[in-house]
Chain A
Amino acid sequence: MRLLIAFALVIGLAGIAYLMGRARAGRMVAAAGAGIGAVHSRPVYHGAYVAVLALTPALLVLAGWGIAGERVIEAQVLGSLPAAERPATPNDAQALMNEVRGLVRQDLPQAFNPLAPKLTPVYEAASSNGDLLAGALAVALLAMGGLWGLSRLRPDFRARNRVESQVRILLLLASAVAILTTFGIVLSLIFESLRFFQMVSPVEFLTGLQWSPQTAIRADQVGSTGAFGAVPLFWGTIFIGAIIAMAVAIPLGLMSAIYLTQYAQPRLRRWLKPILELLAGVPTVVYGFFAALTVAPLVRSLALALGMTDASSDSALAAGLVMGVMIIPFVSSMADDSLAAVPRAMRDGSLAMGATMSETVKKVLVPAALPGIIGGVLLAVSRAIGETMIVVMAAGLAANLTANPFDSVTTVTTQIVALLTGDQEFDSAKTLSAFALGLVLFVMTLILNIYALAVVKRYREAYE
């Protein structure tokens, strides 16, 4: 709360710095007279320059205190205890600190540790001192930065160029956040996976045919020691996402793209294309219960009608069919783009030879657009194998290595969800295997995406 006030104060003061800079530059303009070049930059740039110089160090101080402040306070609070009373382990120290914080925030009626009430005033003092110190430091830096900035303003000072490069840095930081986050995700996946691979060999993980991650919690418990052969999971993922779903999405997506680009009247196309693309906006959980509640029973009755007595209600087919429908827009919009990018001269050339529209599509347009279409399909596959909700709801949990689409299979994403929901311990192979699965899935989709984008790019160059 105090930090928030300090933050608001700093922003307000920076606003004043802006106004001061602008006013000073305004006086320079008045003195130098109008005319381009009399004062290098317009007053707003002078103001912005001063505001940035004032704001940046102050915000850094506040952000630094916000991130590291709690640690400093903790050290002070624990340091105030005589050595004999200090908690023995880091865990105990954490528990004690949590109680102290609870008492301070008044959401803990009573502490178990008798030390906690004693430490509450220490905590409050340390916290308010720290906030005050950080706030004062921020304001002081702000004043210094602002004054220094003001002192640099001259008619020939290139404030516009400075502000321009400050803006560039800001934009760079904004894009760095997304990239750094991705790196962070990859690193955390890798570290947790490494811990997993210390317990289970990568060779067993990548080539084993048996997946049953249950491990005994107590030594005397009856139960498996766990088998971490991920091949059935990857097979299930590919079976549903790359085979069944694609068998639905490629023909339907391609044909609808052909219809929309070549046959449909422009007015119809204006209506149909957005509606088709709307499919991509349906939440996957909606597809999920459509798969589980509508399609799966139909598939099961079909299986029974075909004479399979043990037909499962979770079938690869149900999940794959619905997933195929879900990714039709991905395939069709990429195919649409690449068909539309084939030069009209190509189509006219074929029609002028006396080819019908469908001959033209089959013999000229689709071959010419093929790289783009393949790129779209690969992106769709990568989307399908990473898809979670539909398979969680409709594909089942049994890790079968089967090519029978009426059987239940499971996918990588389904298993990750199963492994990480509910209570887990983060030192067991069962939990950590989720990270290894995630890592392999990530690598798979990454490779697919890179390859697909390369294919699409090469194609784009061909017609420019």
Chain B
Amino acid sequence: MNTAAGSPVPKMTARNVNVFYGQKQAIKDVSIDVSREHVTAFIGPSGCGKSTFLRCLNRMNDTVDGARVEGRIELDGQDIYASVMDVVQLRARVGMVFQKPNPFPKSIYENVAYGPRLHGLARSRADMDEIVESALRRAGLWDEVKDRLGESGTAMSGGQQQRLCIARAIAVDPEVILMDEPCSALDPIATARIEELIDELRGRYAIVIVTHNMQQAARVSQKTAFFHLGTLVEYDDTSAIFTNPKATRTKDYITGRYG
């Protein structure tokens, strides 16, 4: 249903989004489309609002006291802030991976099975085994953990923990995966492993990744959005942003003038 070459149907669209924390405005009039075909990266200096905006996409800002979201955000054309939208179902469709690996203090198996159990996705023990195995395979973790599924998820290395969190997110087969600086707590080797994984997952899930690291954005994403002071300064193909930015602020940022 592509309307024009190179502009696929958006999975999520945001129009004129404003976010307030109490009196303070964190996001100013941001409009953006996110599609399944591309990995979208949000970059920008600390405090620019990129994580805040990301957390609007699965309504995680609901859990923050005093946060208020204005504007319209749609998932497949449905307004996710509408009263008919059930936040539990929304979050099952829009998964999230956090900055710091946060496996639950349960076994590896139970971590992955957590979402499927919540949403009743498995009919039998064998079903569940299959879901867990395929999620761990897709997260590239299966070979490392298949003999110790009963061990605690918190006892693994940081990189493994983060891949476990990704496996946990994809176990419920979401449509969108939001990643909030998923590699900032990891060493370079674990980071490279996650980046490979993101590339493998592309196309199957719409992936939005917030990152501090511009090289990472250049490596993993096809679309890049540059945020500054709560506004979306520029949103374009990643290659265009990094080789030929239109806004001076973007250019200053990617050339290391600030941030």
Contact = CB atoms under 8 A, between A and B. Distances in A.
Interface of A: 265-266, 343, 345-356, 359, 363-364, 367-368
Contacts of B95: 352-353
A348 B168 contact: no
A368 B63 contact: no
B168 A353 contact: yes
Nearest to A359: B118
B88 interface: yes
Nearest to B63: A351
Interface of B: 58, 60, 63, 65, 88-92, 95-96, 98, 100, 102-106, 114-115, 118-119, 165, 168-169, 172
Contacts of B118: 353-355, 359
A368 B105 contact: yes
Nearest to B99: A345
Given A354-B115, A355-B118, A367-B106, A348 B165 contact: no
A349 B58 CA distance: 12
Nearest to A355: B118
Contacts of B98: 345, 348-349, 352
B105 A354 contact: no
A346 B114 CA distance: 13
A354 B92 contact: yes
Contacts of B58: 352
Q: Considering residues A343, A345, A367, which has the most beta carbons from chain B within 10 angstroms of its beta carbon? A: A345
A354 B102 contact: no
A347 B62 CA distance: 13
Given A353-B172, A354-B92, A359-B118, A343 B102 contact: yes
Contact of A364 (B104, B115, B119, B165): B104
11 contacts: A266-B65, A346-B104, A352-B58, A352-B60, A353-B172, A354-B91, A354-B92, A355-B88, A363-B114, A368-B104, A368-B105
A301 B139 CA distance: 64
A359 B98 CA distance: 20
Contacts of A350: 104, 114
A195 to B, nearest CB: 52
A353 B169 contact: yes
Contacts of B172: 353-354
Given A353-B169, A354-B119, A355-B118, A346 B102 contact: yes
Q: Considering residues A343, A354, A363, A368, which has the most beta carbons from chain B within 10 angstroms of its beta carbon? A: A354
Contacts of B168: 349, 353
A208 to B, nearest CB: 46
B91 A351 contact: yes
Given A352-B60, A353-B92, A353-B95, A367 B115 contact: no
A348 B102 contact: yes
Contacts of A351: 60, 63, 91
B167 to A, nearest CB: 12
Given A354-B118, A355-B118, A363-B114, A349 B104 contact: yes
A351 B63 CA distance: 9
B102 A353 contact: no
B111 to A, nearest CB: 9
A354 B104 CA distance: 15
A183 B168 CA distance: 55
A368 B100 CA distance: 17
Given A354-B90, A355-B118, 11 more contacts: A265-B65, A346-B104, A347-B63, A351-B91, A353-B92, A353-B168, A353-B169, A354-B88, A367-B105, A368-B104, A368-B105
Contacts of A347: 63
Contacts of A265: 65
A385 B233 CA distance: 66
A349 B171 CA distance: 14
A101 B106 CA distance: 74
A364 B165 CA distance: 15
A261 to B, nearest CB: 13
Contacts of A346: 102, 104-105
Contacts of B102: 343, 345-346, 348-349
A268 to B, nearest CB: 11
Contact of A348 (B60, B89, B115): B60
Contacts of A354: 88-92, 115, 118-119, 172
A351 B95 CA distance: 10
Nearest to A353: B115
Nearest to B65: A266
Nearest to A356: B88
B121 to A, nearest CB: 11
Contacts of B165: 349
Contacts of B100: 345
Nearest to B93: A354
Contacts of A359: 118
Q: Considering residues A266, A348, A356, A359, which has the most beta carbons from chain B within 10 angstroms of its beta carbon? A: A348
Nearest to B105: A368
Nearest to A364: B104
A343 B105 CA distance: 11
A145 B149 CA distance: 74
Contacts of A343: 102
B209 to A, nearest CB: 15
A154 to B, nearest CB: 57
Contacts of A266: 65
Nearest to A363: B114
Nearest to A351: B63
A346 B100 CA distance: 10
A57 B115 CA distance: 74
A265 B105 CA distance: 27
A239 B149 CA distance: 42
Contacts of A367: 105-106
Contacts of A356: 88
B52 to A, nearest CB: 14
A265 B63 CA distance: 11
Contacts of B96: 352
Contacts of B115: 353-354
Nearest to A266: B65
Q: Please list the 8 inter-chain residue pairs (A to B) with the smallest Cβ-Cβ separation, ordered nearest first.
A: A354-B92, A345-B102, A354-B91, A352-B96, A349-B102, A353-B115, A354-B88, A368-B105
